[in-house]
């Protein structure tokens, strides 16, 4: 027994050393979504521990209890069944699985990344493009963009529109919650909010090649005045993000420093999405995205106009109509 305790002690020390370099950011959330996800993790862990801890304890206790040297233990070589044990080992796990199923169902809908957050504050929109190996953030409402740095005010929802310029990636700010994939030719969505000011780590969580390990960015949650100052700093940058400069930026590079663009070409994000649509026009992509995502933000009026034109054999929908539809929501 003493030897077993000694081994467990050394194992515990070793685990502590190995985990000392870990930063459990998921368990220190700074936003509403992250806080709800933390609660979900802890509840699921607690429920599973009801089974896991007794099983681990009995795995250690049984060999010790029924060792050859212990003559006090009952020796029953013909024992094969116990109704009481069967009831316990089947009923408790079944109840836990049922509880987890209900929690999973309700939380999956409550924490749907496509679901806008309820808030009286006006949300801001950030268009995110994953590249090799860096992140581009476009602020269409302010006409600026940044590389590997993201800023937004606290207590205001941030509506992320996410795509990829190359291979599939994953956008994740652990302390704010919800990892969402970025895929070429598609647009995914994510809604987050920060409740505390700070500079939070953001990263890619999907292996994407040689420079993946350095594909990090800073998410700066600041006050309204601080956000205005950040936008002003970005606007003061002499660089312009148009198609040509975008092509230069999209070339593979590692450990790319933070950069700002004082102006951004209109429709750049839609162009990035549509460049992987196998020759589909902007209007055709818009129509395809509308038909596959009717229950999200496609306006009913625009849908009816598009269907009417195609039924009459007319030209594709006009730019004024297609601009109401987010192109290529192929993930739906």
Beta carbons of 317 and 283 less than 8 angstroms apart: yes
Cα three-residue angle 40-45-50, rounded to 5 degrees: 135
Which pLDDT belongs to residue 77? 84
Greatest alpha-carbon span in the chain: 92
Alpha-carbon distance 253 to 73, whole Å? 67
Which pLDDT belongs to residue 119? 92
Q: Which residues of the chain have pLDDT under 50?
A: 282-332
Distances (CA, A) of 156 to 74, 84, 116, 153, 203: 66, 55, 12, 6, 22
**206: phi then psi, degrees, rounded to nearest 5:** -135, 120
Which pLDDT belongs to residue 100? 93
Which pLDDT belongs to residue 289? 44
Which pLDDT belongs to residue 282? 44
Say if residue 316 is exposed, middle or buried (CB neighbours under 10 Å; 0-12, 13-18, 19+).
middle
Which pLDDT belongs to residue 131? 95
Tens-digit pLDDT profile for residues 132-186? 999 999 999 999 999 999 999 999 999 999 999 999 999 999 999 999 999 999 9
Q: What is the pTM of this model?
A: 0.74
The mean predicted confidence, pLDDT, of the chain is 83
């Amino acid at each position: 027994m003493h030897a077993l305790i000694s081994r467990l002690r050394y194992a515990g020390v070793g685990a502590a050393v190995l985990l000392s370099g870990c930063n459990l950011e998921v368990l220190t959330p700074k936003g509403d979504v992250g806080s709800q996800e933390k609660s979900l993790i802890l509840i699921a862990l607690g429920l599973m521990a009801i089974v896991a801890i007794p099983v681990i304890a009995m795995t250690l206790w049984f060999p010790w209890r029924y060792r050859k040297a212990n003559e006090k233990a009952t020796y029953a070589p013909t024992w094969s069944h116990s109704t009481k044990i069967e009831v316990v080992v089947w009923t408790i796990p079944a109840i836990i699985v049922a509880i987890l199923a209900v929690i999973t169902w309700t939380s999956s809908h409550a924490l749907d990344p496509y679901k806008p957050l309820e808030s009286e504050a006006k949300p801001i929109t950030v268009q995110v493009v994953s590249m090799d190996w860096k992140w581009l953030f476009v602020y269409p409402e302010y006409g600026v963009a940044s590389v590997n740095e993201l800023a937004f005010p606290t207590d205001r929802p941030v509506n992320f529109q996410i795509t990829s310029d190359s291979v599939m990636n994953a956008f994740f700010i652990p302390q704010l919650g919800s990892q969402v994939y970025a895929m070429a030719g598609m647009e995914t969505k994510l809604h987050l909010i920060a409740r505390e000011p700070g500079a939070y780590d953001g990263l890619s969580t999907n292996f994407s090649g040689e420079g993946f390990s350095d594909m990090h960015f800073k998410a700066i949650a600041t006050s309204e005045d601080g956000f205005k100052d950040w936008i002003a700093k970005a606007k003061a940058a002499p660089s312009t993000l148009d198609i040509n400069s975008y092509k230069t930026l999209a070339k593979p590079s590692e450990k790319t420093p933070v950069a700002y663009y004082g102006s951004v070409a209109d429709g750049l994000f839609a162009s990035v999405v549509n460049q992987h649509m196998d020759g589909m026009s902007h209007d055709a992509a818009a129509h395809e995205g509308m038909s596959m995502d009717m229950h999200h933000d496609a306006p009913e009026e625009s849908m009816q106009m598009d269907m009417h034109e195609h039924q009459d054999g007319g030209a594709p929908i006009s730019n004024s109509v297609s601009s109401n539809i987010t192109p290529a929501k192929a993930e739906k």
